[in-house]
Every structure is written in structure tokens, then in C-alpha cells.
Amino acid sequence: MKSDPSTSDAAFGRHLALAELRRGQVGLVTGLVESAALDSGRDASQSLLTRLRDLGFVPGARCEVVARMWLGGDPLAVRIGGSTFALRRTEADAVRVKIAPGNARETMAHEGTGAVPA
């Protein structure tokens, strides 16, 4: 079985894009970055960052990937605070997180159950 880098001990020290988390994983927001994937330019990127901050994606906030839709995983349903939001993959790429402690144990417990990973 191939090792998943998002569940390794090394993942706890690195910053990942929120879009890289699997369904059920919890992350702590470490910051926001401008997304190069947005075609509309710098103003649209700044607008996205402002929107994400307004939704609660601020450093230290706890967020969880609740669901991934369709085959490509776009959009993602993300719970932050008491709310759940749908984010496009490009929007989730702008949010940087560290995996919250305890995730690796929960994720590994689901492996081998026949469940299809998100």
C-alpha cells in the first residue's frame, strides 16, 4: 500500500493547501496566499483573500473537509467555525493549513475498510 504524504508525521510540520486535505481531515489555518490559478488578475485574487478572511479563514482557525464532490473533488465542503461552505478547488488552494494533531490516527483507522478515499 502506497503511503499518503498527508497522513505521515512529516505532514504535521508542513503547510499544505486546504485543497490537499482528504475528506474528514482537520487542519489549522496558517495563512492565505494569492492564487495564481485565477484568470482575472490581482484584483480578483485580493477579493478572494478578503472573502476567505470574512468567512473565517484566519490564522489559527480550525477547519475540516466535510465532503468532496464529483470526480475531481471540486467543489469541497469545508466546515469552519459553526458554518459549512462550498469552495472551489482554486479557492481552497489559497488557504494554507497544517494538519491538526490526531488526524493521522483517524485516517489510518479508515484505511483497509474498503471505503474509497475522497
Domains along the chain with CATH numbers: 5-103 (2.30.30.90)
Supply the pLDDT for residue 107: 42
| pLDDT tens-digit series, residues 14-32 | 789 999 999 999 999 999 9
Residues contacting residue 88 through CB under 8 Å, at least 6 positions apart = 74, 75, 76
- Alpha-carbon distance of 67 to 79, in angstroms, equals 9
Supply the pLDDT for residue 40: 57
Supply the pLDDT for residue 76: 93
- Range 28-49 average pLDDT: 75
CA dihedral sign, ordered 77, 36, 4, 98? negative
**Residue 100 exposed, middle or buried by CB count within 10 Å (0-12, 13-18, 19+):** middle
The percent of residues in the chain predicted with pLDDT above 70, rounded, is: 66
